[in-house]
Amino acid sequence: MLRKPFVPLAALMSALLLLTSAGAAGYAEEAAPGTSQVNAFRAVTAVQAAKAMSPGWNLGNTLDAYPDEGSWNNPPAEETIFEDIRAAGFRSVRIPVTWDSKIGPAPDYIIDPARLDRVEEVVDWALERGLYTVLNVHHDNGNWVTKMAVDPVTGLYVDDYNRNMDKLEKVWKQIAGRFKDKSEKLLFEVLNEPNNGEWEPKIEAPTDPEYPEARHHLTPEELNAMNHRMLKAIRTSGGSNASRIVVIGAEMDNSEKAVAHLEVPDDPYLMATFHYYTPYPFISNSWGHTAWGTPEDKAELTRYFKPVYDTFVRKGIPVLLGEFGTFVDPEAYAKSYYFNAVVRASYKYGFVPMYWDNGLDNYDRKARVWRDETAKDVIVRAALGEINSFIGMRDAYFPQGKEPGDLVLPLELGGNELTGIYHGYYRLVQDRDYVMNEEQTEMTLYGGFIAKLLPARGEAGAKETLRFRFSEGADQPLNLIRFAQPVLQDTKLTIPAGALKENLKIPVQYNGTKLATARMVDAATGRPVKDEWAQGYVNR
């Protein structure tokens, strides 16, 4: 990481504020000075804001959807969302916005006033509730900011950097001008996941039959120049923007790229950012990887996070972990355990973690409920520096028609005390309903107690939930479930070539179970079928 001078006038006037260091890990010390009033501004440094922003939540797949806000899996945002997010314990929100289809033609690139009105309405809802709010330019990245042009003579891809940067600058001048008088709790993020084309096939012309889409190109030098240029456009746009916090990242918001390439101007109102979706097979619930938490898993997390701390936070540059989460729901216990590790590491290294929730994962915006209260609570409690305890599983299965035996649970108390286990209002009695070993690393639920809740003749799918409470951190649920052998209603399907036009649906009688993973194997050999690109992912 390189740090180069860029000193706005407001920075000179606020020099004394720089005595506050970001080098200390953690951020739950005290709230930064500020106000929940939408249009009242009191300058705070990025260091101060970072201490008051954790944890954060993303309004995913909403204003970043295109061509319109409701085009994807969510209805348009409502004010109640931010009431619920604040009540849940989140202290900041990120509002991704794709401006693409609402931008007029060259040379002025005027944003549709109705789009600006709508974005301002949603931003104000968040600010009115005292939430730090990150507003960005989102899928414009891949739609046009980094897209290459086609040479009309040669038919080959050519860098269209200058024209794209001119457009982005004019877009940012309009956004910054519209929001210039908002609270200091409004932050600007220059560009989400700038695409450098690294993962695209190495093709030269759009007529390539293997890849007819447009290529993308953004070198580290071009990206740094982009960040400098947009920062200048924001800083000179009037109002309070000379001392508004701005967020910048490296290629694809990748942590390793940030450490290697990201130049951060000398400006007390800047944050660096990166996203974390590792390991991909686990967070995407693919290739048989349904669990997380081995020593190797935890070492990988440290391997990515510590260099970011050393390069930025340790030197006084706050870091926004702008996105983390899971794409498809993995096993519930493993997900909570993973979230805890990511947020605890963020607390340790002084990052602000922001949970990516696209409307399908956890918070149900229509019903206004959390689909997984435990996962949400784990994030919030860990962000406050509390220790979450774990019991080794979320679901325990007992075969139908058999008396349940004792259930042994590994305990990971982390220095906490188990203060009680509850079934509804009933508090389990130690040494009668369960027993713990002397080291408090393991407990046993007696089969006799379980049998009272799940009779042997109970129907498949019957479920009773126990709740484990600890001296601090989130409660942990344990579902006791009766199951029978699941049944595939179709075990052989013949699909003529070209006949499959939509997702293949295979009817299953789950009988109290859940699908953990699916594998494709060769019928003759039983060996996994794998694509060349997936060699390292397949569960052999």
Partnered with residue 187 across adjacent β-strands are 134
Partnered with residue 364 across adjacent β-strands are 369
Segment (H or E) for 321: strand 319-324
Q: Which of 93, 90, 114 is nearest to 103 (CA)?
A: 114
Q: Which of 224, 288, 366, 279 is nearest to 540 (CA)?
A: 288
Contact 95, 122 (CB under 8 A): yes
Contact 278, 232 (CB under 8 A): no
Q: Cα dist. 269→3, 209, 368, 389, 408 in Å?
A: 14, 47, 35, 36, 52
Enter the tokens of residue 486: 């699941």
Residues in the chain: 540
Q: Cα dist. 160→48, 391, 467 in Å?
A: 38, 54, 57
Residues 6+ apart with CB under 8 A from 62: 69, 72, 74, 76, 77, 96, 359
Three-state DSSP class for 116? helix
Contact 153, 199 (CB under 8 A): no
Active site residues: 193, 323
Q: What are phi and psi of 253, to 5 degrees?
A: 50, 40
Contact 381, 473 (CB under 8 A): yes
Q: HSE on the CB side for 440, CA within 13 Å? A: 12
